[in-house]
């Protein structure tokens, strides 16, 4: 079956441009995430990690980890190891500073890596997870296949992503906020003129939930499902490796 390229690929920016953008906004990334989501991003991560309780004590892979908040939330599950990767070094530097303020011996390793060609053996992790990152991947299907490859049989994939609400009135209000207010606030706080124009565009162009679930199935995942959060402004996608 031929895939719709808009579902497989991120059509807005090239990978080098996205890397430059995230390296630039790294110092203000956390503050803006909390501000622009009205603090809901914190609750979304907690709910997502709670869905992985059956993998407590396992090996976790956090892809496009950014400043590390999903990995830090996953520590509540007492993993044997978390390997957190990102291709934006400045984001990893922010995460390193957070880790330096915690107790010694935190089981987190930071690795600069591209999700499309992960430097890990097959069947190595119990969980592969991404928060607010997959819409930026140049090849979504390829990245999902890499996640599937590195998971152990019985492993889980968890993807938390910003999405566009389906209900017409909520959708229109959300699009208005994204197109006009979000870029203005983003520019004021970060000083970056392009990143927060890109953000609403990338959300609008992300596939509908059923389309993305089909993409996960095409990558080899089974038992796929979507959990809508905050009227559909974010969604948790789950799947398993047989």
CA distance to 12, 29, 64, 98, per residue, from 9 (Å): 9, 24, 16, 32
- Pairing of the two strands 81-86 and 108-112: parallel
100 φ, ψ (degrees, to nearest 5): -65, -20
Phi/psi at 80 (nearest 5 deg)?
-70, -30
The pLDDT, as a whole number, for residue 180 is 86
Q: CA torsion 189→191→194→197, rounded to 10°?
A: 20
Task: Tell me if 133 sits within 8 A of 64, measured CB to CB.
Answer: yes
So what's the pLDDT on residue 2?
41
Query: Which residue ranges of the chain lie beneath pLDDT 70?
Result: 1-13, 192-193
Contact criterion met (CB below 8 Å) for 98 and 68: yes
- Helix 140-150 and helix 209-218: axis angle, to 10°? 50
Per-residue pLDDT, 8: 60
Q: How far apart are CA 33 and CA 91, in angstroms?
A: 14
DSSP per position, 90-139: HHHHHHHHHHHTS-TT--EEEEE--TTS-SS-TT-EEEEEEES-GGG-SB
Note the pLDDT of residue 130.
98
pTM, whole model, 2 decimals?
Answer: 0.91
For the domain spanning 5-240, the CATH number is 3.40.50.150
- Rounded CA separation 108/86 (Å): 13
The pLDDT, as a whole number, for residue 11 is 46
Asked if 32 and 189 count as a contact pair (C-beta separation under 8 A), the reply is yes
> Which strand ranges, in their side-by-side order, compose the sheet holding 125-131?
108-112, 81-86, 59-63, 125-131, 151-162, 234-240, 222-229
pLDDT for 10 = 53
Q: What is the pLDDT of residues 39-79, one digit of tens each?
A: 899 999 999 999 999 999 999 999 999 999 999 999 999 99
Integer Cα distance of 179 and 171 in angstroms: 12
Q: What is the reported pLDDT for 199?
A: 81
């Amino acid at each position: 079956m031929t895939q719709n390229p808009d579902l497989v690929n991120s059509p807005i920016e090239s990978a080098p441009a996205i890397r430059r953008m995230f390296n630039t906004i790294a110092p203000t990334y956390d503050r803006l995430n909390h501000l622009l989501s009205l603090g809901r991003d914190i609750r979304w991560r907690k709910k997502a990690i709670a869905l992985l309780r059956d993998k407590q004590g396992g090996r976790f892979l956090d892809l496009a980890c950014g400043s590390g908040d999903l990995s830090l939330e996953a520590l509540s599950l007492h993993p044997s190891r978390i390997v957190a990767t990102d291709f934006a070094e400045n984001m990893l530097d922010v995460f390193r500073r957070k880790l330096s303020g915690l107790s010694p011996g935190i089981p987190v390793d930071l690795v600069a890596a591209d999700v499309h060609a992960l430097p890990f053996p097959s069947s190595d992790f119990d969980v592969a997870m991404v928060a607010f990152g997959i819409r930026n991947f140049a090849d979504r299907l390829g990245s999902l296949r890499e996640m599937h490859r590195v998971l152990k049989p019985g492993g889980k994939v968890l993807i938390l992503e910003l999405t566009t609400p389906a209900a017409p009135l909520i959708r229109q209000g959300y699009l208005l906020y994204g197109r006009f207010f979000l870029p203005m606030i983003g520019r004021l706080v970060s000083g970056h003129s392009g990143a927060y124009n890109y953000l609403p565009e990338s959300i609008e162009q992300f596939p509908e939930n059923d389309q993305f679930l089909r993409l996960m199935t095409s990558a080899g995942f089974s038992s796929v499902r979507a959990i809508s959060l905050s009227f559909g402004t974010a969604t948790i996608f789950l799947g398993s490796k047989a």
